Amino acid sequence: MAIKFQYNKTSRQQLEKQLQIRERALPTLQSKETALRMEVKKAKKEVEKLDTELEKQIMSYEKMVGLWTEFDPSLVKVKDVNLSKKKIAGVSIPILNRVEFETKRFSIFNRPKWFLDGIHMLELLAEIGIRRDFNAIKLERLEYARKKTTQKVNLFEKVQIPGYQEAILKIKRYLEDEENLSKSSQKIMRAHQEKRKEEEGW
């Protein structure tokens, strides 16, 4: 990234101000990146755990596959999903508090005995699935925020801070050279004037 500047003290002061802002912000950004990295790791583990749990639950009901053909899945539906929001390292994340189900009324006498267990199993599977999806959304948001923060850290660390430092150094050298040239030309002028005075004095 080419930093635009002019070879004067005002430009140097502006660059120094910009450099200070970035140098102060960098540790905060690095801390945020570390926190997000840890949260991403946790969220990944949670998604994997819920995937395993869902698979385990489905496998345990496979023996009853024949019975499920008799079951009426319209008896159970998700009534409400209770959510809240939480900020993790400055990122707003949806949090699933509870899943509420609604069960249609039915006659226990006209249905097989295991229907109540079936309803409970369906609710359990649905809740695990919903929790898994919410954790996947959380993971996605955290991962996106982490990538953005890493990009900003890299931009500051590898591009902008060295760029500003280099520009300030160039201005500093230019101004020093200009000052040295000015002093040298003054010495030369003084020497010429003294020489002229000496010549005139003769």
Structural contact between residues 86 and 95, judged by C-beta atoms closer than 8 angstroms: yes
DSSP β-bridge partners for residue 95: 84
Q: Give residue 191's pLDDT band: very low, low, confident or very high (50, 70, 90).
A: confident
Residue from 73, 160, 157, 57 nearest 115 by CA = 73
Structural contact between residues 57 and 128, judged by C-beta atoms closer than 8 angstroms: yes
Q: In this structure, is residue 142 part of a structural domain?
A: yes
Q: What is the CATH number of the domain that holds 79?
A: 1.10.287.3240
Share of the chain above pLDDT 90, in %: 43
What residues make up the domain containing 47? 19-190
User: How many structural domains is the chain composed of?
Assistant: 1
Whole-angstrom distance, CA of residue 175 vs CA of residue 187: 18
Give the tens place of pLDDT for each residue, 4-31: 888 888 999 999 999 999 999 999 999 9
Is residue 75 predicted with pLDDT exceeding 90? no
DSSP letter (8 states) at residue 158: I
Q: In this structure, is residue 177 part of a structural domain?
A: yes
Q: In this structure, is residue 2 part of a structural domain?
A: no
Q: In this structure, is residue 5 part of a structural domain?
A: no
Residue from 150, 174, 156, 151 nearest 1 by CA = 156
Q: In this structure, is residue 167 part of a structural domain?
A: yes
DSSP β-bridge partners for residue 99: 81
Q: In this structure, is residue 171 part of a structural domain?
A: yes
Is residue 51 predicted with pLDDT exceeding 80? yes
Q: In this structure, is residue 185 part of a structural domain?
A: yes
Helix, strand, coil content of the chain in percent (nearest 5): 75, 15, 15
DSSP per-residue codes, 32-59: HHHHHHHHHHHHHHHHHHHHHHHHHHHH
DSSP β-bridge partners for residue 54: none
pTM: 0.73
